[in-house]
Amino acid sequence: MGFFAGALSGALVAGGVYYAYSSTIQQRTAKHCTELRALSRQLEDPPIVRNAPAPAVTRVPIRPFRDQFMQKWNEGLQGLSTIDRKVEEITKRLFRS
């Protein structure tokens, strides 16, 4: 008789554990489904943001000195390339003769 009582109590405990896990999984699944529905609705109809930051064009400062410096730098580099071409032409003329 003790064997049957132990087996019965073990089966009862296992059934309780199974039921507890099963109900927890069902509740969490239902919660995830409702959260996913809410998120998909937000993706379809996003809320209107009223306090948006200013556009980047208005936030970026104008830097005339930097632009002038870069322009002069580029002109200087272009001047070096033209000098290089002229030197190359002169050396070709010298070595041809």
One domain, residues 3 and 33: yes
Parts of the chain with a pLDDT under 50: none
HSE-up (13 A, CA, CB side) for residue 11: 6
pLDDT of residue 93: 84
Tokens representing 51 are 């306090």
- Domain boundaries, position 92: 64-97
**29 part of a folded domain:** yes
- Residues 53-64 as b or e (16 or more Cβ within 10 Å = b): eeeeeeeeeeee
If one counts the domains in the chain, the total is 2
Distance CA 94, CA 87 (A): 11
Residues 42 and 68 in one domain: no
Tell me if 4 is assigned to some domain: yes
Neighbours of 95 (CB within 10 A): 7
Q: Residue 14: inside a domain, yes or no?
A: yes
Tokens of 64: 């005339």
CA dihedral 76, 78, 81, 86 (to 10 degrees): -90
* 59 falls within a domain: no
